[in-house]
Amino acid sequence: MVDANTRQKLFGTPETNFLNCSKGWKSWAFTLDHKRIGIMYLIGVTVALFLAGIFALVLRSHLFTFDSTMLSDDMYNQMFTLHGAVMVFSFIIPSIPAALGNIVLPMMLGAKDVAFPRMNLASFYLWIIGTGCLLGAILSGKGLDTGWTFYTPYSIDTNTGVIYATFGAFILGFSSIFTGLNFLVTVNTMRAKDQGWFKLPLFVWSLYATAIIQVLATPVLGITLLMLIAEKTLHIGIFDPKYGGDPVLFQHFFWFYSHPAVYIMILPAMGVISELISVYSQKRIFGYSFIAFSSVAIALLGFLVWGHHMFTSGQSLVVTLIFSAITFTVAIPSAVKVFNWLATLYKGSILLNTPMCYALSFIFLFGIGGLTGLFLGALSTDIHLHDTYFVVAHFHFVMVGGTLTALLGGVFHWWPKIWGRMYNDFLGRVGCFLVFSGFNLTFFPQFVMGSRGMPRRYASYDPEFQAFHQLSTVGAFVLGIGILLSFVVLVYAAFRGPRCSSNPFRAASLEWQSSSPPDFHNFIQTPVLTDPYDFESQVYDEELDTYIPREFANPDKVAPRKEPVHH
Amino acid sequence: MAVADSHDTHDDHHDLYDHGEFIAHHFDSAEQQFDSGKLGIWLFLVTEILFFSGLFVAYTLYRTNHPEVFEQAHVFLNKYLGGLNTIVLLFSSLTMALGVRSAQLGRNKNCSVYILITMVCATMFLGVKAVEYSHKWDMGILVRSSFDLTYTHPTPTTEIGKSLHISDYLVYLCIVPALLFAGFVVASAISKLINKNMLAKFLMAMAITVSGYFLGVCIGIIFMSATDAETGSSHASVIAEQPLMLLASTQDDHSDGDHDEADHDKADHDKAAGDPSHDGEHSDNEEHFGAHPADGGEASFDDHHPDPSTLDRDIGIFFSIYYCMTGLHAIHIIGGIIALGWLYWRSLLGHWRTDYFGPVDYVGLYWHLVDLIWIYLFPLLYLID
Ligand code: HEM
Ligand SMILES: [Cu+2]
């Protein structure tokens, strides 16, 4: 029990917080504070999202008619390459871990910062340099037309800016490794006293699994891209068939990273969803350890399935069969999560606010994305579907429908914590609705087109596909408007939104035991360790209009527990 | 220090964060900080191993597909120089370990000496490597596309090269170290003059470090001429055993090689137009990859291998892999030297205490890894049969 003054000090709106504790651009550019770095990352990935999003809208506009002349064929190739490369390497991979994770992870552990703050800042600057190099391909006037996969031998022969772009991706890889390494160490050594592994929020588990992949897979991409650069400049003959090299070896190396990388993209998203579903159902997450271990299982199995991207590239039949079989097993842990979320919702007291709307969209869209992955993992269907719009639709359902949706949900969830201000929930939900419907309108027709044989990466197409493409283009603009609206809602809230309390959603993980916005040191006093999914541990405090841990509440006013504590 | 660290609310809870000199604000204890650093460096080493793993995989693949090429190619590597470097690195690992021990005991002076020896070994390693590289470049032993083996060593054209009878390439490789050496000596003298004794000492040590490079070059040249007879004879034996291959190597590179390099688009174009030589090369190439290792062995080479130029091409690939692996390793050595230089400076400042020696420990682990990678590279590249 603490007195009202201390309560006010701990959970009231603070005078100084991490946002205003120091001023001037230097206090941001050289900050070592994980929250500020996270915010800078958030700004960075948003810029990347908008940039690559504009490329996407240009592409979709071009495809509005089958004989469009808006872009030349070369320009079309460059557009989709830059769209893909920027989205994958600069936006989606760092998005949730480096932006949201950075802000939230140390606080979930009750720590003051990540283990290596300088490395954290270095990661951000590497992100800037890497993205700069990637875009250097455009600025150099040469562009880039290999697709984000940089497949040899074309990437060796083309004289567009492959070297800039691969160097950029190489640097971005290090940025990602730095984040991953930092998180692994942070989770291992900086947990709150007595906070065992099974008392961690599931977001932490998912970031941990992600970090394992970042640390184990990214170096392989690094060396692969270096070899590609060496091949292009010195012609070392490892990938270039002209000099006796093996171009398929490049594909193996590339997917050895890039398949695990798709789990770098989705695992953090799953972690966010686990938090949102549980908090907004006010119900203990169902099957905690299943969700936790399925993250790790996905991370490890993810290393064994890269060959499913190469079913048609000339692998031996045996290898192909094995890859196909393991691909199916990856779907199991993914499904385990989905069922656990559904079970959590069951009989929960559901609050349909903006983050929850995003979370529900995620379950639906990721479900479709994951299931269509199985179509692609099955050999006979993949021969037909490979390199068609079906694949395009599949990965957009998981990457946009999954990761971007979860990112938005997570941002809405933690926004009040970060800024101490509340967003307009109605407009937030409108944004979510536009994103959800625009997204489906964009990508659902692509499944149909793909299964009817529309190949991906083509600048023109048969007239029979035009109706589908037009739906898709309209959808893309709706999606764009939805994202823009959410952006406006968030930015407005950050500066002008009404003040909000420390824990408006009655969440139980440790980051909500700080003030909103948090102090520079995150917690003014060591937080009391609560079970992150025991919402009864938080009680309403009238004076502060917020939820605070039972331990801090005025005992006269505390309602007794409804359910017993269980661990 | 971080700007944000100095903000005012800090004082409010100062008692909570009352830390020793070298404990960062976000750690609770020296122990937690040390454990974090240790785990961090181990993870970093894992990424390093995986970074090299791509090259090891390429090595394994090409070696299983073309074992004969690896046997033929490695004779061009001087195993005495390789062996010498192995010993130098092993010794440096020993001094590094001793340096870590001294830091743990808080003996800064000993630590600085051991670190200096380690750095000198590192530059010596690079010096020997420079001798090896320049010798190969002289003979046209380059990466696949520019591989152009000749047995004549071109006469040096630079003044220094002429007077010392050393390769031009070696002279070029010595320019940067020479400048560094001069720079450090001058800077050291200046710092002495303006009474920055510590800095002067540090810069002098850096000059000594760089001089290790020249020591390596000298020892390398001596070793090379001492073992010249040996390597010379192994070159000769290759000529005797595989005349075809060498013929092919020279031919390929004068007719086909230039062409390949000069004009890619044209090559594609030729191929489309049905140029027989290119069609031959491409199909041949596919066959080569699909082939069982045994098919590509010596026998088929002599009797019914359609195009001997394929072998030559693959010899070039061996050296592509060689240069990638040893080059990447050398970059790591240079990185290590920089890290060691930083440790040396901190030892001079007397930073290490029995309860604070983390950085030495971490860099030590890194150094051992770099050493270990060489321990793998040496037999894999130099000691093939
Ligand atoms: C439920 C598990 C999943 C399965 C079984 C699966 C399966 C597959 C298969 C077999 C392909 C290759 C299709 C082809 O090229 O013919 C593929 C492509 C792809 N998948 Fe998935 N996938 C799954 C989840 C994900 C997730 C979670 C993401 C990302 C967040 C993702 C991103 C991608 C991408 C980017 C590609 C296409 C890469 C390209 O060719 O450019 N997948 N998936
Ligand atoms: Cu995959």
Over residues A500-516, the pLDDT tens digits come to 999 999 999 999 999 98
Helix (H, G, I), strand (E, B) or coil at B125: helix
Calpha distance B145→A243 (Å, rounded): 7
A244 C-alpha to center of ligand 2: Å?
28
* Distance, C-alpha B276 to centroid of its chain: 41
Question: Hey, which residues 93-132 in chain A have their CB within 8 Å of chain B?
Answer: 111-117
Q: Please write the tens of the pLDDT for every residue from A357-373.
A: 999 999 999 999 999 99
Q: Which of A26, A112, A115 sits opposite B25 (nearest CB)?
A: A112
Ligand nearest the Cα of residue A312 is 1
3-state secondary structure of A71: coil
Residue of A nearest to B38 (CA): A185
Cα(B282)–Cα(B279) distance, integer angstroms: 5
ipTM above 0.90, yes or no: yes
Domain boundaries, chain A: 31-261, 503-567
SS3 state of residue A129:
helix
- Residue to probe by mutation, ligand 1, list A92, A385, A398, most atoms within 8 Å of CB: A398
The pair of structure tokens assigned to B287 is: 């066959």
Is B145 contained in some domain? yes
Which amino acid would we find at residue A253? F
Q: Whose CA is nearest to atom 32 of ligand 1?
A: A395
Tell me if B285 is assigned to some domain. Answer: no
* The residue type at B11: D
pLDDT digits 0-9 by tens, A439-474:
999 999 999 999 999 999 999 999 999 999 999 999
Superfamily of domain A31-261: Cytochrome c oxidase-like, subunit I domain (1.20.210.10)
Q: What is the mean pLDDT of residues B270-286?
A: 39
User: Using DSSP, how many helices (H) and how many strands (E) does chain A show?
Assistant: 19, 2
| DSSP H/E element including A237 | none
Task: Please tell me the predicted confidence (pLDDT) of residue A565.
Answer: 55
Residue A421 phi/psi, 5-degree rounding, is: -135, 150
Whole-prediction pTM: 0.88
User: Is B151 a domain residue?
Assistant: yes
**pLDDT over 50 at B293, yes or no:** no
Any ligand 1 atom below 6 A from CB of A401: no
Give me the pLDDT at residue A561, please. Answer: 79
Tokens 């190099």 belong to A133
Residues 114-173 of B with CB under 8 A from A: 143-146
Partnered with residue A547 across adjacent β-strands are A540
Optimal mutation site among A214, A238, A257, interface B, most CBs of chain B within 10 A: A238
Do residue B9 and residue A33 have CB atoms under 8 angstroms apart?
Answer: no
Contacts of A521 in chain B (CB under 8 A): 13, 17, 25
Across the A/B interface, how many CB contacts are shorter than 8 Å?
170
Chain A residues 162-181 with a CB less than 8 Å from chain B: 177, 181
DSSP B148-195: ---SSPPPP-SHHHHHHT--HHHHHHHHHHHHHHHHHHHHHHHHHHTT
Token couple for A358: 């995003």
Q: The domain spanning residue B121 has which CATH number?
A: 1.20.120.80
How many CB atoms within 10 Å of residue A303?
18
Q: What is the pLDDT of residue B255?
A: 38
Residue to substitute in A376, A404, A407 for testing ligand 1 pocket (most ligand atoms within 8 angstroms of CB) = A376
> Which chain B residue has its CA at the smallest distance from A178's CA?
B44
Average pLDDT, chain A: 93
Phi, psi of B36 (to 5 degrees): -60, -45
- B261 located within any domain: no
Name the amino acid, one letter, at A325: A
Q: Is the pLDDT of residue B15 over 60?
A: no
CB contact under 8 A, A216 and B50: yes
Nearest to B40 among A185, A217, A243 (CB): A185
The total of structural domains in chain B comes to 1
Question: Picking from A75-79, A140-144, B338-342, B375-379, which range would have the lowest pLDDT averaged per residue?
Answer: A140-144
DSSP string, B216-251: HHHHHHHHHHHTHHHHHHHHHHHHHH-HHHHHHHHH
CA distance linking residue A278 with residue A286, whole number of Å: 8
Mean pLDDT, residues B134-153: 77
Contact B264, A157 (CB under 8 A): yes
Average pLDDT, chain B: 76
- Inform me whether the pLDDT recorded for B262 exceeds 50: no
Closest CA to A327 of A263, A390, A387, A272: A263
pLDDT band at B223 (very low <50, low <70, confident <90, very high): confident
Q: Which residue from A251, A395, A454 has its CB within 8 A of the most atoms of ligand 1, so it is best to mutate?
A: A395
Please compute the mean of the pLDDT values over residues B172-179 and round it to a whole number: 92
Dihedrals phi, psi of A452, to nearest 5 degrees:
-95, 5
Residue A30 pLDDT grade (very low, low, confident, very high; cuts 50, 70, 90)? very high
Chain A residues 204-263 with CB within 8 Å of chain B: 215-220, 222-224, 226-227, 230, 234-238, 241-246, 249, 253
Which residues 6+ apart lie within 8 Å of B376 measured at CB? B56
Q: Do B50 and A230 touch (CB under 8 A)?
A: no
Range of the domain at B91: 65-243+315-382
Q: Are A228 and A317 in contact (CB under 8 A)?
A: no
- Does residue A166 register a pLDDT over 70? yes
